A and B are shown apart, each in its own frame.
Chain A
Amino acid sequence: MVGAGAVLAAGSTSACLPLDGADQERSGAADPDRRRVEAMAAQIEELQALLAATALAHPPLGTRLAALRECHTAHHRVLVGDATPTPSSTPSTVPNDPSSADPATVPASARAAMTRVRTTEEAHVSALAAAAAMSQSGALARLFAVLAAGVEQHLAVLTGTGES
């Protein structure tokens, strides 16, 4: 798998090399592309917590959101390697990281909860597209653009604008 770490490590295309602590200390602060990877990974972690909390608060939504959660897990893995919260192997309403899922923060109405998810996800797509536009590395730009397209595609299915 060609991950962001591999892209940042001089454009290797043969393996995913996660960003480790040493890499980040070495060049993190000075490398805008590395900061973009870290920012997008952090944003995905926040989204995963939101989706997990939403699934806990509204179990029927959990099933609908399962594919999107798996998409985010795959994106996080390609950005930072396998040093991530272990995802469930099958879609479920159980959060990947229960400690970060707080259903109390989720709107009581399922419709409002979905609106919040959609709004937050759309902002994430915009952030990924902006990161793609600004990346110094062409390979990283491509990766960010593909991630944006992947989330947008899942949102289209989720909101019924896909699948005619």
Chain B
Amino acid sequence: MSTTSALQDSLGAEHATVHLFAALGGITSVADDPVLHALLTARHRAHRGRREYLTSVLRGLGVDPVAAQSAYLLPTDLSTATAVRASGTESERRCAQTYAALVGQSTDDVRTWAIAALTESAVALTQWGAPAEPFPGAPEL
């Protein structure tokens, strides 16, 4: 894996996450579950920011950033807060794994940024309801 492919992997994960969280926000009621709605709003904003950063870095390298897909397969059951949280957890975990990989494939500012993104996603995982784990982003450990 190269720096570019690690960046593209992270960007691909962010495209999917931004899409998913927008969809989840559309079915989560601020009146019924204000905490979950606030979490979705905050995480959607955070992932959009990451997507913009990754796009900018790739363009700076003279590479065409991977485009978002025209559609993403959403989970079939999003009828409960538990299901929404599980979906958010899965997406956040996928991003954390790509950022861990990016740390290993980058240097300098991009690596520093990826370290921070990994840590932020790890904390967000607990906000989605996942238990703390020793090695977030590294399932092989």
A15–B7 Cα distance when bound, in Å, is 27
A149 at the interface (CB under 8 A from B): yes
A75 to B141, CA, bound (A): 10
Contacts known (A146-B137, A146-B138, A150-B135); A132 close to B127, Cβ less than 8 A: no
- What residues of B have a CB within 8 angstroms of the CB of A133 in the complex? 111-112, 115
Known: A2-B140, A145-B100, A153-B125. A75 touches B114 (CB 8 A): no
Residues of A contacting B118 with CB < 8 Å? 145-146, 148-149
Interface size class of B (residues with CB under 8 A): 20 to 34
Within 8 A of A (CB), among B37-71: 38-39
- What 0/1 readout, one digit per residue, does chain B (27-38) give for beta carbons within 8 Å of chain A? 000000001101
Q: Count how many pairs of residues, one from A and one from B, have CB atoms less than 8 Å apart in the complex.
A: 100
How far does the alpha carbon of A75 sit from the alpha carbon of B138 in the complex, in Å? 12
Name the residue on A nearest B137 (C-beta): A146
List B contacts of A117 (CB < 8 A). none
Closest to A71 in B: B134
Residue pair A141, B111 in contact (C-beta under 8 Å): yes
State A139–B118 Cα separation when bound (angstroms).
Answer: 15
Interface residues of A (CB under 8 A from B): 1-2, 67, 70-71, 74-75, 78, 125, 129, 132-133, 138-139, 141-143, 145-150, 152-154, 156-157, 161-164
Q: Told that A2-B140, A133-B112, A147-B134 touch, could you supply 5 new A-B pairs with CB distance under 8 A?
A: A132-B103, A139-B104, A152-B122, A156-B132, A161-B123
